[in-house]
Chains A and B, each alone.
Chain A
Amino acid sequence: MPAFVSNTSEIDVSRSAQWTLSAISVTKRYGSVQANTNVSLDLRAGEVHALLGENGAGKSTIMKILYGMVLPDEGHVEIDGRPLTLLSPRDAIHAGIGMVFQHFMLVPTLTVLENLTLGTHLAGQYMLRKSQARRALTEIARRYRIGINLDRKVSSLSVGEQQRVEILKALVRGARALILDEPTAVLTPAEIADLGVTLRELAAEGHGVVIVTHKLAEVLSISDRVSVMRQGRMIGTWRTQDTNADELVVRMIGRNLDEARLASEHRPGKIVVEMKEVLTRNRRGLRGLDSLSLQISAGEIVGIAGVEGNGQGELAEALTGLCRIDSGDITLNGISIVNRPTAEIIAAGVGHVPEDRHRDGGVLSFSLTENAILVDHRSPSFQRHGFIDRHTAASFTQRLINDFSILCSGPDAEFGDLSGGNQQKLVFARELARSPKLLIAMQPTRGLDVGAIEYVHKRLLEQRTAGMAILLISTELEEVLALSDRVLVLRNGRIAGALARSEATMEAVGELMLGSGRTETDGIAA
């Protein structure tokens, strides 16, 4: 307990103290790659500071240097002009710097309380002193208005809740400066709003918060100041209120962005895929898709909007044969594909950009070539007498690399070594290259930077014009609205509403996403 009292006083001190954490002229090279060139950045007590930049701009590197995970080749870190020696995260934590990673570092089988006390003074020396820890944690959570149930297992928490636990963890360890790496990448819109509130609260309590992001909307709504990095260099720092989205984009990518929008009229061709009253159950017998019906025609993009976990994953899996369909029918160009093997459905002309490229879309330890032929390795173009034709495969991969400007050392590079954006480009390129009749694009731009998003959107629109039927499943409402000819709102595994392009406004879709009692009963009746 005494240890904790001293800790609270530390937080109290920081509330009044005006400190500045700075990185001074930091340069870092990885082999021949210059990750940071002469980067300077300062974080002040009481501010939310956004660090904006495309993938590979060097944001993560400078943050890792601030957190002691990476040592700079030149330059240093200081607090209030006093140089800090950061040889490891331990040093950084000791100096009051905390970091919340994109991939959380929690023990899923332990409770929130146990995770928060793990490895801290709260844990007690030999025995876990739960009641004391509970009192202390409740106090901290209350102060920052972070709502969390200390007794739940981390594995049962939503992503947003896990993130709150991570933030609390940093605070428990006495963090005054808090770095959040892509904090919103995995959150739903409501959770993003909650996070914004928490971050403002932290700033008001005298903490300094850095959010590393490539999403402009967040920068403008949450931050006090924004720094922009491009190609390893710091472009500058501005007060958020003195700048705007257009300016920031130009600073970030070095040019103007032409936003992808549907240009031409919606002139759909014949029906490519039709789902009739499709019902799926998961392992626990719960309904995934609940008598869902939809049609997608050639030359149209059908957007699926909805809060995550309302059947999006099941929809993609049902269409690709990855999950069993309990009843209903799915036809592709008039032929039933219900419960056919995935290989057969793929061969019949279905392309699939899966939601999670690490889990499903690619094999990290494989080369780009192996990933490029992952889906089509059986096709005669890549194999002869059961053996893979490496030359053809490699030149095919090289073509994808060129066409989609994938940043890599060549077809032999390891997939896992690519940045997230380039991995996604390869998966996307692979699926487009197969020229499917139906393309299921699930969260096709998740984790991508603005330039890459623009690129993916353009390609999707090109393919629509070329007559592909595209199912766009995304939790980014703006993306769905910008690209879709028709918007279907998915809720509880059912289509809660279908809107034509002209009717699909943010408000209309949002209302359907959350649902009202009336449509709910309608859905059951149907």
Chain B
Amino acid sequence: MNTAALTVGGTDRVREIATAFGLTLLVAALCAVLLAVTGVNPLRAYLEIVRGAFGSPNAIAECLVYATPITLTALSVILCFRCGLWNIGADGQVYIGAIAAVGVGFNTMNLPGALVLPAMLVAGFAAGAAYAAIPAFLRLRFGSSEVIVTIMMNFLAATFAIYLIGGPWASGITPATGPIVSSGVLPIIIPGTRLSAGFIIALLAAAILSRVLSSSVFGFQVRTIGQNINAAKYAGIRVNRTMFLSFAAGGGLAGLAGFGEIAGIYHNLPAGLSPGFGYTGIVVALLAKLNPVRAVVVAFLLGALNVGADSMQRALGVPVSIVAIMEGLLILLILAARLIDRR
């Protein structure tokens, strides 16, 4: 890419950031043409995106709200990818985690108030993990592709949620279940915004996963399997067990995203809970080069772009689709630049 020429001699990181920056400018320039054609001043549009994303504490909080679930699904994808498995099923795991969290959150068992949230969290994680354990088992025992199975299971989970909302858990008013008990609601960390402690959970998860992957024995085994499964077998690593555990734990992380949406944002299970959190998570994971800490940054930037786009649409009447185009272009170009760079 053009920007690569600018950064010759720099370190890898400088080069990478410069590449990303250069590509962003390139995409902005391309979309400026698009905007100009639709009769909007591109500069105003871009300014509106920036203002919409960073213009107020509430704007920034909204970016973080957006980033929370996709950080967790990205972490899920990262853990599985690092172990050589493709988790396309984070979306379904989000749903199942959310369903479990809501189920516990109704608190029909009358848990003491202080225990409701932890129980919801554990249920969300465990349900996501159990849901992921199915494709992992099928893959490791029978060799069936985890890609296909997880994709299919995404539909199952989303449809199951719709069944619950329309049937057993129907509230009768909105297309959502009834609310969870108030002790199952995560505290808001910036007053006056929607940003809940779910974001802290995502940050903690990223920090923990980062540390586990880089320096724990388990992480070492995961990385060895992902990089060279034969060497892992040779070194006596229990490959199947480790792969199963990573996939299940990955499912658990996605399940946490479901819990976070329920306890932090909706306080019930709405229809269409996930607008593709699992798939966006894959994009974030790839852009972050499977690095958990970077995933947080990428998720935030993606959040900023989306929140800014909404604001641009409100202010200038520009269709949000333009931003979807920008996003798509940017992601494609960054991944393409990386492929070119690797040669």
Contacts and interface: CB of A to CB of B under 8 A. Distances in A.
A342 to B, nearest CB: 4
Interface in A338-379: 341-347, 352, 354, 359-366, 370, 373-375, 377-378
Interface string A111-132: 0000000000000000000000
B217 A378 contact: yes
Interface in B202-259: 215-218, 220-221, 223-224, 227-228, 230-231, 233-238
A363 B221 CA distance: 12
B156 to A, nearest CB: 33
B217 A383 contact: yes
B224 A352 contact: no
Contacts of A322: 233-234
* Most interface-central of A321, A341, A370, A387 (chain B CB within 10 A): A387
B235 A375 contact: yes
Contact of B238 (A341, A364, A386, A388): A341
A390 interface: yes
A322 B234 CA distance: 7
B244 to A, nearest CB: 15
Contacts of A359: 228, 230-231
A394 B249 CA distance: 30
Contact of B216 (A320, A354, A386): A386
Bin chain A's interface residue count: 20 to 34
B217 A375 contact: no
B218 to A, nearest CB: 7
Interface in A30-59: none
Contact of A388 (B220, B227, B230): B220
Nearest to A344: B236
A364 B221 CA distance: 15
Nearest to A320: B234
Contact of B217 (A343, A347, A387): A387
A354 B236 CA distance: 13
Contacts, number: 66
Nearest to A362: B231
Q: Is the interface of B mostly helix, strand, loop or mixed?
A: helix
A366 B222 CA distance: 13
B236 A375 contact: yes
Contacts of A321: 236
A363 B231 contact: yes
Given A363-B227, A364-B228, A365-B227, A386 B218 contact: yes
B236 A388 contact: no
B338 to A, nearest CB: 15
Contact of A361 (B223, B234, B238): B234
Contacts of A345: 236
A359 B228 CA distance: 7
A344 B228 CA distance: 20
A366 B223 CA distance: 9
Contacts of A354: 234
A377 B216 CA distance: 10
* Most interface-central of B218, B233, B235 (chain A CB within 10 A): B235
A377 B238 contact: no
Nearest to B233: A322
A366 B227 CA distance: 8
Contacts of B235: 342, 346, 374-375, 377
A424 to B, nearest CB: 14
A363 B224 CA distance: 7
A374 B224 contact: yes
Contacts of A370: 220
A342 B233 contact: yes
A360 B220 contact: no
Contacts of B218: 386
Contacts of A390: 215
20 contacts: A322-B233, A341-B236, A341-B238, A342-B234, A347-B236, A359-B231, A360-B231, A362-B231, A363-B224, A370-B220, A374-B224, A375-B236, A377-B217, A377-B220, A377-B235, A378-B217, A386-B216, A387-B215, A387-B217, A388-B215
Interface of A: 320-322, 341-347, 352, 354, 359-366, 370, 373-375, 377-378, 383, 386-388, 390
In the A-B complex, the 7 residue pairs with the smallest Cβ-Cβ separation, listed nearest first, are A343-B236, A342-B236, A360-B234, A363-B228, A346-B236, A363-B227, A375-B235
